[in-house]
């Protein structure tokens, strides 16, 4: 099974379409980053610092395509169904296929927050990872100041595993502690918890 797993190129939930990036999406992801550059610099520094021009946005999309093809990571843009408006990004990365497990990394645009989009997108990925691919574990790493993501992890039934002190230096040079949360196959079998059906 691990050698055959490739995440679907398109995932749909009630309101959202999660879609693998193509080169045609470079302008969309650049607009998304430009609108929230100051906020994203804290949690997504390498991406933000490396995406200052249309050419760099194309390079970003090409890099994500290479990661996808090699099964190193699966990066989705998040769009509202029936709209050209991109509202976020979600990535499955740090994959260990022999277990299997992976890490989630995601953000929703400031203008689209507090509408349940992050919960809906993460839930869609968890359904595929656990329901279809029989993952054993998905984890997230969240800086102490990201209250919204901390609340989301708890809402969706992730378990707090601990805090790694002084582990992440953000784009502003500040050193942050990281909270680790996980969701396991046992959690999945026990019931959906906060997951959307």
Q: What are phi and psi of 72, to 5 degrees?
A: -85, -35
Q: CA angle, corner 81, sides to 76 and 87, nearest 5? A: 50
Decide if 197 is inside a domain: no
Least confident of 51-60, 111-120, 158-167: 111-120
The CATH number that applies at residue 24 is 3.40.630.30
Distance of CA 40 to the CA centre of its chain: 13
Decide if 19 is inside a domain: yes
H-helix or E-strand spanning residue 99: none
Decide if 196 is inside a domain: no
Decide if 140 is inside a domain: yes
Decide if 2 is inside a domain: no
On average, the pLDDT of the chain sits at 92
> Token digits for 55?
């050419």
Answer for the pair 186, 147: CB distance below 8 angstroms, yes or no: no
Distance of CA 114 to the CA centre of its chain: 17
Q: ω before 100 within 30° of 0 (cis)?
A: yes
Top pLDDT among 63 and 84 is at: 63
Counting the structural domains of the chain, the total is 1
Question: Distance of CA 84 to CAs 47, 63, 78, 154, Å?
Answer: 22, 23, 10, 31
Distance of CA 67 to the CA centre of its chain: 14
According to the model, what pLDDT value does residue 192 have? 58
Decide if 4 is inside a domain: no
Please count the other Cβ atoms lying within 10 Å of the Cβ belonging to residue 70.
8
pTM of the model: 0.90
Question: Distance of CA 181 to CAs 16, 63, 71, 84, 104, Å?
Answer: 24, 27, 23, 32, 10
According to the model, what pLDDT value does residue 197 have? 38
According to the model, what pLDDT value does residue 3 have? 57
Answer for the pair 177, 163: CB distance below 8 angstroms, yes or no: yes
Quick: pLDDT tens for 164-180. 999 999 888 899 999 99
Answer for the pair 86, 17: CB distance below 8 angstroms, yes or no: no
Decide if 3 is inside a domain: no
Domain extent, residue 158, equals 9-190
Quick: pLDDT tens for 103-152. 999 999 988 888 899 999 999 999 999 999 999 999 999 999 899 899 99
């Amino acid at each position: 099974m691990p050698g055959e797993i490739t995440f679907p190129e398109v995932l749909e939930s009630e309101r959202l379409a999660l879609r693998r990036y193509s080169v045609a999406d470079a302008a969309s992801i650049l607009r998304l980053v430009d609108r929230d550059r100051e906020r994203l610099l804290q949690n997504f520094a390498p991406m933000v610092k490396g995406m200052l021009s249309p050419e760099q946005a194309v390079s970003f999309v090409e890099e994500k395509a290479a990661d996808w093809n090699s099964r190193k990571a699966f990066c989705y843009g998040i769009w509202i169904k029936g709209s050209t408006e991109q509202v976020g990004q979600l990535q499955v990365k740090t994959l260990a296929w022999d277990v299997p497990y992976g890490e989630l990394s995601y953000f929703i645009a400031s203008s689209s927050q507090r509408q349940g989009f992050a919960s809906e997108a993460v839930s869609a990925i968890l359904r595929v990872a656990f329901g279809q691919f029989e993952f054993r574990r998905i984890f997230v790493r969240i800086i102490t100041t990201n209250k919204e993501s901390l609340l989301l992890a708890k809402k969706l039934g992730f378990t707090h595993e601990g805090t790694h002190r002084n582990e992440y230096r953000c784009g502003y040079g500040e050193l942050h502690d990281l909270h680790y949360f996980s969701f396991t196959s046992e959690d999945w079998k026990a019931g959906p918890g906060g997951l959307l059906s």
